[in-house]
């Protein structure tokens, strides 16, 4: 376990040192914290230690070594704010070395969070002061992430490691765009019925270089309406460390239970989380999954536990949390999952229905082709 402690201490020290010497925006690239798969959402996103399928490419690449099929594909779609914001995910994972001692897996994930058909009212008002709705056009604001994952089992018994290289593209119509690059590292360790996970997101400090392309007329509109003209800048995402511990118990040949507790350590400043210690903020969340005969999965979780001052009495604190529910079915090559959850806000208005599907592909036997 010293591997975990050394890695964690290195990340924490680096993050604190960077915070002292650079200004970083809070919630940078926050769309990458929403999460993929209805299974994870139903469990309150507490899956870093127990994830073992194609979705590990996002949650913890080390879990890709536990892939139980040669090839898996998964997709998810979710909508928020009455369908205004759309979130889509496509994931692929493939074993590239089946040797149990050198088992390795490659993964690929594509994520898009976008708001489309946004009215562009720059030219709504004509130079003579009249309003012309024919001058209203539309644009999209979208965030993209392309993640390449690789995982490898180590010579150390029950220890796996993995890494992500991610390319980030963010676009705001024709007005502005950015490119970013970052690296994640993860590991998983088994000890009897227990599973331990470590995920270090943006360990490289992800950099997004923003460039804005405004015409003189558009800049004039900004000035006349009292808005600041955006300038090209560099946005930095500081590391996020997630520690997870899971308990996996097989009660009968058909009934089993998975429970997990995760701690998210953020380094980008003060947040309304349960635990706060200077530059480090700790956000706990937990989840469970009851399985029946590898066919039916019932899930629940608690996340987004927040601590905030009472508006009525500022001397007091109030605590809120977000419950999550989910269910899944495994039918042949297909696994269909559903979750009723919130994007990360305690408001009931934002609760949404999330669906995802996973497909298993078996390796074709050459003898079958001859027959």
Cβ(217)–Cβ(91) under 8 Å?
no
For all residues of the chain together, what is the average pLDDT? 83
In whole angstroms, what is the distance from residue 259 CA to residue 195 CA?
10
Q: Can you name the residues that pair with 257 across neighbouring β-strands?
A: 249, 290
List, in order, residues 6 or more apart from 8 with CB less than 8 Å away.
198, 241, 243
Question: Torsion over CA of 37, 41, 46 and 47, rounded to 10 degrees?
Answer: -10
Neighbour tally for 84: CB within 10 Å? 12
For the chain, the distance separating the N- and C-terminal CA atoms, rounded to the nearest angstrom, is 51
Which residue matches tokens 């469990």? 43
User: For domain 2-370, which CATH number applies: 3.30.70, 2.60.220, 2.160.20, 2.40.160?
Assistant: 2.40.160
268 has pLDDT over 80: no
Instruction: Tell me which DSSP letter residue 370 carries.
Output: H
Q: What is the mean pLDDT of residues 163-192?
A: 92
Q: What is the mean pLDDT of residues 84-103?
A: 83
User: Strands (DSSP E) along 67-192, which ranges?
Assistant: 71-80, 85-97, 104-120, 137-153, 159-172, 176-191
Question: CA dist 207 to 19, 35, 145, 255, 313, Å?
Answer: 14, 20, 13, 46, 40
76 has pLDDT over 60: yes
2 has pLDDT over 60: no
Tokens of 356: 């995802």
Phi, psi dihedral angles at 323 (to 5 degrees): -80, 150
| Residue 62, pLDDT score | 94
Extract long-range pairs of 182-185: CB within 8 Å, 24+ residues apart.
182/29, 182/206, 182/207, 182/237, 184/61, 185/7, 185/161
| Residue 46, pLDDT score | 94
Query: Tens digits of per-residue pLDDT, 195-228?
Result: 999 999 998 888 888 888 888 877 877 777 777 7
162 has pLDDT over 60: yes
| Residue 10, pLDDT score | 52
Q: What is the mean pLDDT of residues 227-252?
A: 88
| Residue 196, pLDDT score | 96
In whole angstroms, what is the distance from residue 122 CA to residue 290 CA?
53
Question: CA dist 329 to 8, 251, 296, 332, Å?
Answer: 36, 20, 5, 10
Query: Tens digits of per-residue pLDDT, 315-371?
Result: 677 777 888 999 999 998 999 999 998 764 544 456 788 999 999 998 654 444 444
11 has pLDDT over 60: no
- Coil, helix or strand for 225? coil
Q: What is the domain partition of the chain in residue ranges?
A: 2-370
Query: The pTM is what?
Result: 0.83
Q: How confident is the model at residue 27 (pLDDT cuts 50, 70, 90)?
A: low
Lowest mean pLDDT across 59-63, 126-130, 239-243, 354-358: 126-130
| Residue 368, pLDDT score | 46
Phi, psi dihedral angles at 70 (to 5 degrees): -65, -30
In whole angstroms, what is the distance from residue 196 CA to residue 244 CA?
6
| Residue 369, pLDDT score | 47
Q: How confident is the model at residue 287 (pLDDT cuts 50, 70, 90)?
A: very high
List, in order, residues 6 or more apart from 97 with CB less than 8 Å away.
103, 104
Which residue matches tokens 């495994």? 330
Higher pLDDT, 112 or 137: 112
Neighbour tally for 249: CB within 10 Å? 11
């Amino acid at each position: 376990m010293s591997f975990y402690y050394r890695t964690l201490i290195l990340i924490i020290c680096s993050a604190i040192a960077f915070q002292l010497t650079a200004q970083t925006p809070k919630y940078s690239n926050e769309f990458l914290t929403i999460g993929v798969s209805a299974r994870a959402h139903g469990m309150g996103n507490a899956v870093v230690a127990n994830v073992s399928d194609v979705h590990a490419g996002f949650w913890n690449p080390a879990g890709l070594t536990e892939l139980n099929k040669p090839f898996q594909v998964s997709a998810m779609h979710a909508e928020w704010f009455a369908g205004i914001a759309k979130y889509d995910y496509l994931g692929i994972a493939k074993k590239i070395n089946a040797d149990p001692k050198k088992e390795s897996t490659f993964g690929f994930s594509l994520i898009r969070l976008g708001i489309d058909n946004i009215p562009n009212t720059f030219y709504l008002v004509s130079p003579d002061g009249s309003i012309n709705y024919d001058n209203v056009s539309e644009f999209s604001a979208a965030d993209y992430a392309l993640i390449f994952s690789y995982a490898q089992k180590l010579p150390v018994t029950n220890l796996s490691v993995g890494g992500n290289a991610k390319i980030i593209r963010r676009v705001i119509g024709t007005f502005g765009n950015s490119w970013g690059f970052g690296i994640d590292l993860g590991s998983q360790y088994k000890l009897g019925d227990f599973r331990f996970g470590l995920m270090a997101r943006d360990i490289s400090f992800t950099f997004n270089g923003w460039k804005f392309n405004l015409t003189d007329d558009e800049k004039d509109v900004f000035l006349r309406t009292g808005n600041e003209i955006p300038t090209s800048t560099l946005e930095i995402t500081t590391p996020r460390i997630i520690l997870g511990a899971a308990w996996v118990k097989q009660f009968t040949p058909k009934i089993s239970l998975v429970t997990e507790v995760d701690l998210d350590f953020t380094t980008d400043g003060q947040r309304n989380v349960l635990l706060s210690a200077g530059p480090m903020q700790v956000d706990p969340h937990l989840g469970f999954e009851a399985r029946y005969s590898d066919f039916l999965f019932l899930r629940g979780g608690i996340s987004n536990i927040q601590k905030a001052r009472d508006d009525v009495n500022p001397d007091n604190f109030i605590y809120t949390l977000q419950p999550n529910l989910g269910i899944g079915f495994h039918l042949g090559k297909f696994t269909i999952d559903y979750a009723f959850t919130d994007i990360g806000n305690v408001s009931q208005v934002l609760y949404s229905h999330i669906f995802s599907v996973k497909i298993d592909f078996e390796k074709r036997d050459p003898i079958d082709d001859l027959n």
